[in-house]
């Protein structure tokens, strides 16, 4: 039997006052058992 993916539920709130962008996002992420947590990190500039 295969190892199942780990599921993460994330609520992301974005507020950009300069561009007048205000939104909430509900995300569901899955990580394969052979992946590391470092591969799931998001960098926004």
Give the model's pLDDT for residue 41.
64
pLDDT in tens, 6-15: 888 889 999 9
pLDDT in tens, 14-44: 999 999 999 999 988 888 888 777 776 654 5
Domain ranges of the chain: 6-35
First to last CA, the chain: 41
Give the model's pLDDT for residue 45.
42
Give the model's pLDDT for residue 17.
96
The overall pTM is greater than 0.75: no
Owner of token pair 């470092």: 38
Q: Is the pLDDT of residue 5 over 60?
A: yes
């Amino acid at each position: 039997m295969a190892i199942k993916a780990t599921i993460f539920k994330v609520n992301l709130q974005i507020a950009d006052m300069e561009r007048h962008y205000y939104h909430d996002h509900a995300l569901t992420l899955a990580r394969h058992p052979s992946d590391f947590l470092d591969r799931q990190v998001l960098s926004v500039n």
